[in-house]
A and B are shown apart, each in its own frame.
Chain A
Amino acid sequence: MAQTNTGGQGTNGVADESPNMIVYRKMEEVIARMQEEKNGIPIRTVKSFLTKIPSVFSGSDIVQWMTKNLDIEDPVEALHLGTLMAAHGYFFPISDHVLTLKDDGTFYRFQTPYFWPSNCWEPENTDYAVYLCKRTMQNKARLELADYEAESLARLQRAFARKWEFIFMQAEAQAKVDKKRDKIERKILDSQERAFWDVHRPVSVYGLQNDIRTHSPTHTPAPEAKQPTEEELQEQITFWQLQLDRHRLKMSKVAESLIGYTEQYLEYDPCLTPPDPSNPWISDDTTLWELEASKEPGQQRVKRWAFGIDEVLKDPVGREQFLKFLESEFSSENLRFWLAVQEVKKRPIREVPTRVQEIWQEFLAPGAPSAINVDSKSYDKTTQNVKDPGRYAFEDAQEHIYKLMKSDSYSRFIRSSAYQELLQAKKKVNSTFFKLFSMLQSKTYQDFEPTAHL
């Protein structure tokens, strides 16, 4: 039968395995544990009516074992994982073509390693034809073809009409070999072979079995890694050297910082704190979004601006308020410069040279109308950059101005009465009041006399 080895073995053995192979190996580890003598699933032979059912275990056995041995709390999760393992063909229900796991007395059997997906099976239609043909030669009720199998056989007979004799001969030969086996062994092998075909020629065309083995084009086996050149190695060495010189923070400090951040933003996280008035996706009410779009920032939103300068710069309303405050102090040139430089970086490359000149004239050239104060080093560098202007011409100056704003203008803004007023006086607009207010606003012209006041 057609068996390929693509992606099966990398030159490095385990390390270069394809993503599917990694999952197969993990499932096989679980299967191996399930089959252990001591702590595995109890496999037994069940006596039924006139026959014996060899080598089986129940669906609940599997679920129980998984719950106990795989650190699973919820049986639903065990069922889900178990169904995926069955869909890959690692164990199968002995009386059903559909490969799912049921948490009841349904009997299951392990698949033989020969048929495991990790062997990269890609069986052809001729193989399937031989198999179905062989089934018709065996005179046992349990081996009768199901409807979909009979249909497939008919289709294959038409497709391979010319070489059907060859297929028939192969089927005969296989049937002969099978007859020689021990009865119990035959039962087991027959079921395992059937389960193999349930994976590769599933009942339903749209079954999950098909897509599990589909490869995304991103996961093609990696080509042989080239030997690095001398230059590349030198670059690597330089890189490691730079990394070694880096300043690192202790984990304890980092942990405190991460914890601090999440705690500060907890009340803003809709997944953890239900938003006010409601989460639009849950309530189907878009008031939350309408409130945010309005020019009147709520108290919670204003509070956030105090967390750091980036919060003010990120929020368009925050930027507006910050600019307004600075204008009132006649010190807005820093912020305007910073905003202008951000704008330049967003423009198409074609517009950059003109914009850079404009910014230079406005903020940095001798006699500039909105002169900003930059340290001499940045100033010199910027002068050079402007001669051959790129998107990052003002990078040094912008960094300097940002630090200045952070330590000076921003802290003044947060302490300013303008900000404090926004924070205190603008209590969150009650949503029903907001609705009523806007509703009344729309009615004033028609329903009230011009002299009436609300």
Chain B
Amino acid sequence: MVVCCCLGRTATWVSYQLKIHAQKYMRSPLIPEMATQEVQLNETLAHLKSESESLKSKLEEERAKLHDVELHQVAEKVEGLGQFVMKTRRTLKGHGNKVLCMDWCKDKRRIVSSSQDGKVIVWDAFTTNKEHAVTMPCTWVMACAYAPSGCAVACGGLDNKCSVYPLSLDKNENLAAKKKSVAMHTNYLSACSFTNSDMQILTSSGDGTCALWDVESGQLLQSFHGHAADVLCLDLAPSETGNTFVSGGCDKKANVWDMRSGQCIQSFETHESDINSVRYYPSGDAFASGSDDATCRLYDLRADREVAIYSKESIIFGVSSVDFSLSGRLLFGGYNDYTINVWDVLKGTRVSILFGHENRVSTLRVSPDGTAFSTGSWDHTLRIWA
């Protein structure tokens, strides 16, 4: 029984729960009344379901009570952004098929990218040179990540696994030989990220779970259950002390998790379709999401609700990926209509629309020092914008 403090409402709830349990235990087990038992079970389920739903609506009410003003109203006093010019500064060609994912190295210039044909390439984006390439044994490599040390990359996709490849200085060495299988899921790998160490990887999967793995042994350190459908994305909180991350899925929910206990500590459900991308605001107090419903949304963890929606009547294609500029003032969104929309996070307006890719933008990340952002597309290329 859950121990609650003595408020009138919860006391009623507790006594109600006692009643349900009493009903269960007072039924005589000797008489096989299967039919009645099933009816009673269904009744119990129906009661619990309505209880759960009424609590959920109550939560929405409580959240709404503190919504005394809109973010963009308070932001009216903030100076507007001037003319915004960002252009493609580098185009990386070399993938033979749709680019699905990319990640920056901490050195601010190298990136790793993965594509539909199984190729994973490490580039020095500044010179556009390819430094390493490896072909995975599976197609649709939807996830890739650079290790914090810069000495390894992780990737995975339809093979349901996340594998780590140490990057050798010897260009001739066969990377595939040193491959290490770390994560094992029961469905496709949608995203992966190293924690602040080369020794742990956090993964999300089409099997509806996220998991934390020890790279060296492949041991599962913690698993995270709570999504009702495929989990498509995740992002670790930027704090030095925090142990939380956020995930988004096909159940339209964005969940915040405690890495230590495996518990879901906050949940948000306002999107109208799959959430393809989640990214923390640089202070760690909020996060943005991008969805197939063509909107980006900002959720604040302290207000415990959605605080802004970034949408336009003319934007009807889904958002595949989002990321913030260093100060959190700008939100970049890569869309399925081949464009990048740049949003003023505080005022809620669109600052700029960037054209260039010839097919869906599938992935977008701002560089570690914020000097540029990179996009990957189904048109087989990656672009660096600044």
Is B370 on the interface with A (CB-CB < 8 A)? Answer: yes
| Residues of B229-287 whose CB lies within 8 A of A | 229-230, 232, 239-241, 250, 260, 264, 266-267, 272-274, 281-283, 285-286
Q: Are A275 and B371 also in contact (CB < 8 A) when A218-B206, A345-B197 are?
A: yes
> Within 8 Å CB of B312, what residues of A?
71
Contacts of B314 in A (CB 8 A): 66, 70-72, 77-78, 81
CB 8 Å contact bits of A169-200 with B (1 = contact, 0 = none): 00000000000000000000000000000000
Task: Type the 1/0 row for B301-345, where 1 means its CB is closer than 8 Å to any CB of A.
Answer: 011110100001110111000000111111000001111000001
Can you pick out 7 interface pairs between chain A and chain B where the beta carbons lie within 8 Å of each other?
A257-B285, A269-B326, A280-B109, A347-B197, A348-B199, A348-B214, A350-B214
Among A84, A208, A225, A348, contact of B228 (Cβ-Cβ < 8 Å): A225
Q: Is the CB of B130 closer than 8 A to any CB of chain A? A: no
Does B219 touch A at the CB level, under 8 Å?
Answer: yes
B353 to A271, Cβ gap below 8 A? no
The answer, yes or no, to whether A146 is at the interface (CB within 8 Å) is no
**Looking across the interface, which residue of chain A has its beta carbon closest to that of B24?**
A230
Are B67 and A241 neighbours in the complex by a CB distance under 8 Å? no
Residues 48-75 of B, flagged 1 when their CB comes within 8 A of A and 0 if not, give 1101100110110011001111110011
Contact partner of B386 (CB less than 8 A), chosen from A217, A252, A261, A281, is: A281
Interface residues of B in 1-40 (CB under 8 A from A): 2, 4, 10
User: Which 4 residue pairs across A and B have the least CB separation, nearest first?
Assistant: A346-B197, A269-B327, A348-B216, A240-B55
- The answer to whether the Cβ of B369 comes within 8 Å of any Cβ in the partner chain is yes
| A residues near B78, Cβ cutoff 8 Å | 259, 263
Closest CB of chain B to A382's CB: distance in Å?
A: 15
Task: Point out the residues of chain A lying under 8 angstroms from B217, CB to CB.
Answer: 348-350
Fill in one digit per residue for B171-183: 1 if any A CB lies within 8 Å of its CB, else 0.
0000000000000
**A-chain residues with CB within 8 Å of residue B126 when the two chains form the complex:** 280-281, 286
Indicate which residue in A230, A253, A264, A310 contacts B44 across the interface (CB closer than 8 Å). Answer: A230
Residues of B within 8 A of A250 (CB): 66, 68, 303
Q: Which A residues lie within 8 Å of B86 (CB)?
A: 271
List the B side residues contacting A27 at CB < 8 Å: 316
Instruction: Check if B142 is an interface residue, CB within 8 A of chain A.
Output: yes
* Those of A212-271 within 8 Å (CB) of chain B: 216-219, 222, 225, 227-228, 230, 233-234, 236-241, 243-244, 246, 248-259, 261-266, 268-271
A244-B62, A251-B71, A261-B328 known; A282+B282 contact, CB < 8 A: no
Contact status A262-B327, CB under 8 Å:
yes
Say whether B48 contacts A237, CB under 8 Å: yes
Q: A22: shortest Cβ distance to chain B, in Å?
A: 6
Chain B residues with Cβ below 8 Å from A289 are 108-109, 369
B384: A residues at CB distance < 8 A: 281
User: Which chain B residues in 64-117 approach chain A with CB under 8 Å?
Assistant: 66-71, 74-75, 78, 81, 86, 89-90, 98, 108-109
Known contacts A255-B71, A281-B90; A211/B378 CB under 8 A: yes
Q: Chain A residues near B338 (CB, 8 Å)?
A: 80, 84
**B109–A208 CB distance below 8 A:** no
Interface positions, chain B 188-211, Cβ under 8 Å from A, are 188, 190, 195-200, 206
Is there an interface contact between B56 and A240, defined as CB atoms closer than 8 Å? Answer: yes
Interface set of A (CB-CB < 8 Å, partner B): 19, 22-23, 26-27, 30, 66, 70-72, 74, 76-78, 80-81, 84, 208, 211, 216-219, 222, 225, 227-228, 230, 233-234, 236-241, 243-244, 246, 248-259, 261-266, 268-272, 275, 279-282, 286, 288-289, 292, 310, 313-314, 342, 345-350, 391-392, 395, 398-399, 402
Q: Which residues of B contact A314 (CB under 8 A)?
A: 240
**Closest chain B residue, CB of each to CB of A338:** B241
The CA of A9 and the CA of B353, in the complex, are separated in Å by: 33
> Are A80's CB and B337's CB within 8 A?
yes
B7 nearest CB neighbor, chain A only = A245
* CB neighbours of B108 from chain A (8 A): 289
Whether B74 and A259, one on each chain, are in contact in the complex, defined by CB atoms closer than 8 angstroms, is yes
Q: How far is the CA of A264 from the CA of B70 in the complex (A)?
A: 21
Contact with A along B125-159 (1 / 0, CB 8 A): 01000000000000010100000000000000010
B365 beta carbon closer than 8 Å to chain A: no
Bound-state CA distance A280–B229 (Å) is 42
CA distance A218 to B189 in the complex (A): 10
Interfacial chain A residues near B359, Cβ < 8 Å: 208, 211
Residues of B within 8 A of A288 (CB): 371
Contact in complex: B229, A251 (CB < 8 Å): no
Name the residue among B59, B200, B266, B302 with the largest chain A CB count within 10 angstroms: B302
In the docked arrangement, what's the CA distance between A402 and B44, Å? 47
Asked whether, in the complex, the Cβ of B316 is within 8 Å of the Cβ of A23, the reply is yes
* Pair B52/A270 contact, Cβ less than 8 Å: no
Contact B232 A258 (CB under 8 A): no
Q: Across the interface, which residues of B come within 8 angstroms of A280, CB to CB?
A: 109, 126, 371
Across the interface, which residues of B come within 8 angstroms of A248, CB to CB?
A: 62-63, 66, 302-305
Kindly list chain A residues whose C-beta atoms are within 8 Å of the C-beta of B307.
Answer: 251, 254-255
Contacts A249-B302, A254-B302; is A269 near B370 (CB within 8 Å)?
A: yes
Q: Closest Cβ of chain A: how far from B83's Cβ, in Å?
A: 12
Q: Which residues of A contact B327 (CB under 8 A)?
A: 261-262, 264-266, 268-269, 272
Residues of A within 8 A of B313 (CB): 70-71
| Residues of chain B contacted by A347 (CB below 8 angstroms) | 197, 199
Residues of chain A within 8 A (CB-CB) of B282 are: 261, 265
- CB B55 to nearest CB in A, in angstroms, measures 4
In the complex, B346 has a CB within 8 A of chain A: yes
Q: Is the CB of A282 within 8 A of B2?
A: no
> A74 and B353 in contact (CB under 8 A), knowing A22-B318, A217-B158, A254-B303?
yes
- A234 and B48 CA atoms in complex are apart in Å by 7
**Additional pairs, 14, CB under 8 Å, beyond known A258-B328, A261-B328, A268-B326:** A84-B317, A228-B49, A230-B45, A233-B48, A259-B78, A265-B327, A269-B325, A269-B327, A279-B371, A310-B239, A314-B240, A348-B214, A348-B217, A349-B217
* Distance in Å: Cβ of B18 to nearest Cβ of chain A: 14
A26-B294, A270-B370, A281-B386 known; A230 vs B4 contact (CB < 8 Å): no
Report the separation of the CA atoms of residues A239 and B90 in the bound assembly, to the nearest whole angstrom: 47
**In the complex, A280 Cα to B371 Cα: how many Å?**
8
Alpha-carbon distance A76/B355, docked complex (angstroms): 10
Tell me whether B371 and A266 are in contact (CB under 8 A). Answer: no
Please report the C-alpha to C-alpha distance between residue A286 and residue B109 in the assembled complex, in whole angstroms.
10
